């Protein structure tokens, strides 16, 4: 059975409940949509059905690394798994997915569990060995083009603003404020701060911030298009 969830992962990001999990080292997503998450402790394991949402951003960088012989997707938590020793093309694919959907920057600082590709075609994640049929890989030149369509070069706060505007198709200042605070006493200060950031982002040479008649702010990369799953190949 072909796993049809790969395209959804590459265009919309991780499904729930995976997207909401901060714990867990890696997950497997079956062709039927069952998620199995393996945590850092031997007895830590979660099994749930995948629930796909519209394209969005989330704090934990879950990214597809490979497809198994049984057509499961192997998904790594890049905040827990050190991918530095994986093949360069696989690293680029994982990083690109994280740049597109993860709202947290510098996720690799917390990665402790080593990952490597064994000579026998197995993906090694700590002490776990997973047979791999196809690792996902991104060529260097494609990585540069597609990564340029993300907002990885902005400061953490501006990157989050940009991702929220991009994935939602536009937000009013009130709607944007709700993503940054739910505390009524801080709402006015946060709103003013966001207004200042939006004004400053308008001077960025590679992005365009537009303010529409309905109050929505939208963002776009200059002379770029939205990413497509074509940037990933199956080795």
The CATH number of residue 185's host domain is: 1.10.10.10
Give the count of domains, the chain.
2
Which pLDDT belongs to residue 2?
Answer: 73
pLDDT at 234: 52
Backbone angles phi, psi at 19, to 5 degrees: -60, -25
Name the residue with higher pLDDT: 41 or 177. Answer: 177
Predicted TM-score (pTM) of the model is 0.79
What per-residue confidence (pLDDT) applies to 178? 95
Asked, for residue 66, whether it belongs to a domain, the answer is yes
- Answer yes or no: is 103 within a domain: yes
Task: Average the pLDDT over 128-145 and give the result.
Answer: 94
Q: How much of the chain exceeds pLDDT 90, in percent?
A: 65
Q: What is the mean pLDDT of residues 90-107?
A: 89
Say yes or no: 36 and 105 in one domain.
Answer: yes
pLDDT tens digits for 111-124?
999 999 998 889 99
Confidence of residue 40 (pLDDT cuts 50, 70, 90): confident
| Residues 59 and 123 occupy one common structural domain | yes
Residues 30 and 118 in one domain: yes
Same domain, 11 and 106: yes
In a domain, 87, yes or no: yes
Q: Do 52 and 14 share a domain, yes or no?
A: yes
| Same domain? 61 vs 160 | no
Strand ranges, E, within 62-206: 62-67, 73-77, 81-82, 113-117, 122-125, 128-131, 134-137
Give the phi and the psi of residue 218 in degrees, each rounded to 5: -125, 160
- Same domain, yes or no, for 51 and 103? yes
Classify 105 as helix, strand or coil: coil
Torsion angle (degrees, nearest 10) of CA 98, 100, 102, 105: 80
**Are residue 183 and residue 75 in the same domain, yes or no?**
no
* Residue 131 and residue 51 share a domain: yes
In a domain, 148, yes or no: no
Q: Is residue 232 part of a domain?
A: no
Look up tokens 């992005």; give the residue: 207
Q: Are residues 107 and 168 in the same domain?
A: no
Residues 36 and 130 in one domain: yes
Residue 227, pLDDT > 60, answer: no
Mean pLDDT for the stretch of residues 34-60: 88
Quote the pLDDT of residue 224. 46
**Structural domain boundaries enclosing 188:** 156-221
């Amino acid at each position: 059975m072909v796993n049809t969830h790969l395209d959804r992962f590459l265009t919309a990001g991780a499904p729930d409940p995976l997207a909401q999990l901060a714990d867990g080292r890696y997950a497997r997503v079956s062709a039927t949509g069952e998620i199995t998450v393996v945590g850092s402790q031997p007895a830590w394991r979660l099994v749930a059905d995948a629930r796909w949402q519209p394209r969005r951003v989330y704090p934990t960088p879950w990214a597809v690394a490979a497809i198994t012989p049984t057509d499961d997707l192997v998904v790594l938590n890049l905040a827990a798994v050190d991918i530095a020793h994986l093949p360069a093309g696989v690293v680029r694919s994982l990083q690109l997915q994280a740049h597109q959907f993860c709202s947290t920057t510098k996720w690799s600082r917390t990665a402790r569990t080593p990952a490597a590709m064994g000579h026998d075609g197995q993906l090694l994640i700590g002490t776990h060995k997973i047979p791999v049929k196809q690792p996902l890989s991104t060529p260097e030149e494609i990585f540069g083009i597609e990564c340029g369509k993300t907002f990885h070069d902005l400061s953490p706060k501006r990157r989050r603003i940009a991702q929220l505007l991009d994935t939602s198709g536009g937000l009013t200042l009130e709607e944007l404020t709700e993503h940054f605070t739910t505390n009524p006493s801080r709402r006015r200060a946060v709103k003013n701060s966001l207004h200042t950031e939006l004004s400053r982002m308008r001077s960025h040479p590679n992005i365009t911030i537009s303010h529409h008649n309905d109050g929505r702010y939208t963002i776009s990369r200059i002379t770029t298009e939205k990413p497509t799953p074509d940037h990933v190949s199956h080795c």
